[in-house]
Amino acid sequence: MLYHRNFVDRMRELYPRGTRVEVTSLCNEEEHLKPGMKGTVIAVDDQPALLVNWDNGSSLSLLIGKDHFRVVPQQEESPGMAMQ
């Protein structure tokens, strides 16, 4: 099922290439993708789904509206940074 073009465009704005995401839950079980795993968005397709390069080497997509995930704030990605 394809979504309305405006919705797909909005998802592309929300999740641009390079956005870091973390899985919180999936609509089905995947052996190579578990809650807590992080990856980097490479694109949003017309489903819309997030095309992600996962840190474990997997490239499984996240289905927007079915799978649950969160954007990882940049400060969480830089553990050596001191808070000012």
Q: Across the chain, what does the average pLDDT equal?
A: 87
Confidence of residue 59 (pLDDT cuts 50, 70, 90): confident
CATH superfamily of 5-73: SH3 Domains (2.30.30.40)
Contacts of 34 by beta carbon, 8 Å cutoff, 6+ apart: 23
Q: What is the C-alpha radius of gyration for the chain, rounded to an integer number of angstroms?
A: 13
Report pLDDT for 79: 58
First-residue to last-residue Cα distance in the chain: 47
| CA torsion through residues 78, 23, 50, 58, sign | positive
pTM score > 0.85 for this model?
no
